[in-house]
């Protein structure tokens, strides 16, 4: 491609976004003239969504949730690390200030982050981040090693990673204290499949998971 | 959904099932194509705020935008979470545009404009925004209207964030090697419009992005059916 063609192509992709945004804003205003006025007034989302940055999983589109209904954090491989101030701030704000009722950790099959983490390669800046996935593998090594089919083994690791991140969410003081006081939020683990577009509920048992981890990670005042 | 009497959790799962059915009906190749991989052209760095769903407000589709959203769309140079997202999107997925987007009525901006402690780890996270406030204290204090002041600090926050992005070595390499573009934008919740602030690699193109363009009034609809979300449940209506 000539330099000029590349320039034009780059310009086109960006223009499309703003054109679509204008269409969307006009369409919303036509459907409900009060839509943006109401949005401006504030947010009271029921959900905190912690998902993967992967472009194929826009939280709102796949769940049919409208603007204003889900507070969203997305990072590489939907990880919740206790020293990451970024995700910890999101959880803190969502639970203590917005008082969300549900927290969904949503992974997806075919996750590039999970695959990259299991590749024996130095990925520079990504190493410390992806290390957390290797730790999940180590925790479930026996089960994972026994799965002979490679794709099936990755799929299982994706599920186990989601469950582990749910556990990490429950380990935070914000969740433990809010749950004790209010009976919410409830933590859920879901996995999105590209083959059919469907969400699979991993049926994480919030109550028993909380009970289990509190033997060691209890951050409420009552023992 | 707020009128729905059922558990919102159950509602979201049933909505998903309706959406998946709608998408495959519209285009049987949609999910198989998604499953084969992603090649998004945009990395979106935005706020976690529930009123700013990037794919929805830009009218785009799954597969179009790689996304990171955090509290007040703060770009901290040493935040490993954001840095990992940028590295993956720019160096591996080779996105063509990095879009940092702030928004009006941001809770984080309001917190940074106030003097009260927010609590927990949030005060530490909001430090860069506090620094922006301090650096522009006189200008911000001179704005009488609370909403306008929040918009101004959101703009300044985007400007500061773009500076951090432009200093990121991966981004610098890819600007030089293949013309990666970096943009600073602001989403106005009151009108639903995204405004290009003109920071980064580009200059504001008011003529292209302002109102009244050719895109106005266009409606993007499915070719064969419409997805409807109602209180009695989500469903698909064939046309």
The per-residue pLDDT for range A19-65, each reduced to its tens digit, is 888 888 888 888 888 888 888 888 889 999 999 999 999 998 888 88
User: Cβ contact (<8 Å) for B191 and A36?
Assistant: yes
* A20 within domain boundaries: no
- Radius of gyration for chain B, computed over Cα atoms and rounded to the nearest angstrom: 20
* A170 within domain boundaries: yes
| Predicted local distance difference test score (pLDDT) of residue A222 | 67
- Give the residue numbers of the binding site of A for Zn(2+): 52, 54, 108, 111
The per-residue pLDDT for range A163-186, each reduced to its tens digit, is 999 999 999 999 999 999 999 999
* A215 within domain boundaries: no
Asked if A23 reaches chain B (Cβ–Cβ under 8 Å), the answer is yes
- ipTM summary value: 0.71
Catalytic residue among A73, A111, A155, A167: A111
Q: What is the number of CB-based contacts under 8 A between chain A and chain B?
A: 283
- A14 neighbourhood in chain B, CB within 8 Å: 97, 181, 183
User: Cβ contact (<8 Å) for A66 and B59?
Assistant: no
* A130 within domain boundaries: yes
* A199 within domain boundaries: yes
Q: Is B101 annotated as a binding residue?
A: no
| Predicted local distance difference test score (pLDDT) of residue A13 | 65
User: Cβ contact (<8 Å) for B119 and A196?
Assistant: no
Asked if A138 reaches chain B (Cβ–Cβ under 8 Å), the answer is no
The per-residue pLDDT for range B57-81, each reduced to its tens digit, is 888 899 999 999 999 999 999 999 9
Residue A46's φ and ψ, nearest 5 degrees, are: -85, -20
Give the sign of the dihedral formed by CA B194, CA B198, CA B202, CA B203.
Answer: positive
Q: Where are the domains of chain B?
A: 1-37, 38-238
| Closest Cα in chain A, distance from residue B34 (Å) | 6
pLDDT(A161) > 70: yes
Measuring CA to CA, which residue among B196, B181, B213 is closest to residue B90?
A: B181
CATH 3.40.1050.10 fits B38-238, yes or no: yes
Lowest mean pLDDT among A204-218, B36-50, B202-216: B202-216
pTM attached to this predicted model: 0.78
- Any residues with CB less than 8 A from the CB of B208 and at least 6 apart, and which? A15, A18
| Predicted local distance difference test score (pLDDT) of residue B5 | 59
- Residue A69's CATH number: 3.40.1050.10
Structural contact between residues B44 and B54, judged by C-beta atoms closer than 8 angstroms? yes
d(CA B204, CA A209): 51
Total structural domains in chain A? 1
For A78, the domain range is 43-210
Asked if A78 reaches chain B (Cβ–Cβ under 8 Å), the answer is no
The per-residue pLDDT for range B140-168, each reduced to its tens digit, is 999 999 999 999 999 999 999 999 999 99
Residue A15's φ and ψ, nearest 5 degrees, are: -60, -40
* A205 within domain boundaries: yes
Give the mean pLDDT of chain A: 91
- In DSSP terms, B78 is beta-bridged to none
pLDDT(B4) > 90: no
d(CA B207, CA B213): 8
User: Cβ contact (<8 Å) for A72 and B24?
Assistant: no
d(CA A194, CA B34): 6
Structural contact between residues A204 and A189, judged by C-beta atoms closer than 8 angstroms? yes
| Closest Cα in chain A, distance from residue B159 (Å) | 19
- Any residues with CB less than 8 A from the CB of A18 and at least 6 apart, and which? B194, B196, B208, B209, B213, B215
In this prediction, residues A110-133 reach a mean pLDDT of 92
């Amino acid at each position: 491609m000539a330099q000029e063609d590349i320039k034009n192509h780059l310009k086109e992709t960006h223009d499309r976004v703003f054109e679509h945004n204008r269409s969307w804003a006009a369409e919303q205003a036509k459907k409900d003239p009060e839509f943006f006025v109401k949005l401006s007034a504030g947010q009271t989302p029921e959900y905190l969504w912690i998902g993967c940055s992967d472009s194929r999983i826009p939280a709102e589109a796949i769940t049919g949730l409208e603007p204003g209904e889900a507070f969203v954090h997305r990072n590489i491989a939907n990880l919740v690390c206790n020293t990451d101030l970024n995700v910890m701030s999101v959880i803190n704000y969502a639970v203590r200030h917005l008082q969300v009722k549900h927290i969904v950790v949503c992974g997806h099959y075919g996750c590039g982050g999970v695959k990259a983490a299991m590749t024996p390669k130095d990925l520079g800046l990504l190493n410390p981040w992806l290390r957390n996935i290797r730790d999940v593998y180590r925790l479930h090594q026996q089960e994972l090693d026994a799965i002979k089919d490679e794709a099936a083994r990755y799929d299982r690791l994706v599920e186990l990673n989601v469950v582990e991140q749910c556990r990490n969410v429950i380990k935070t003081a914000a969740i433990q204290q809010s749950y004790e006081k209010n009976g919410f939020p409830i933590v859920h683990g879901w996995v999105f499949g590209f083959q059919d577009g469907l969400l699979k509920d991993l049926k994480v048992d919030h109550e028993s998971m909380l009970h289990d981890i509190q033997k060691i990670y209890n951050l409420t005042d009552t023992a | 959904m707020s009128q729905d009497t059922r558990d919102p959790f159950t509602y979201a799962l049933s909505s998903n099932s309706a959406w998946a059915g709608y998408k495959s009906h519209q285009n049987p190749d949609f999910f198989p194509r998604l499953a084969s991989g992603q090649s998004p052209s945009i990395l979106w760095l935005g706020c976690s705020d529930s009123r700013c769903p990037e794919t929805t407000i830009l009218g785009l589709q799954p597969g179009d935008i790689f996304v990171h959203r955090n509290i007040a769309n703060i770009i901290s140079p040493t935040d490993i979470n954001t840095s990992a997202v940028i590295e993956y999107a720019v160096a591996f997925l080779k996105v063509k545009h990095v879009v940092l987007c702030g928004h009006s009525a941001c809770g984080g901006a309001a917190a940074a404009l106030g003097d009260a402690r927010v609590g927990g780890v949030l005060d530490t996270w909001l430090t860069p925004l506090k620094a922006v406030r301090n650096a522009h204290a006189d200008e911000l204090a001179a704005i009488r209207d609370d909403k306008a002041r929040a918009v101004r600090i959101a703009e300044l926050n985007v400007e500061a964030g773009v500076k951090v992005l432009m200093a990121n070595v991966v981004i610098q390499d890819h600007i030089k090697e293949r013309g990666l573009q970096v943009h600073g934008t602001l989403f106005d919740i009151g009108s639903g419009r995204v405004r290009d602030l003109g920071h980064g690699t580009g200059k504001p193109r008011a003529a292209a992005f302002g109102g009244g363009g050719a895109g106005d009034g266009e409606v993007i609809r499915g070719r064969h059916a419409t997805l409807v979300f109602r209180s009695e449940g989500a469903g698909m209506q064939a046309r």
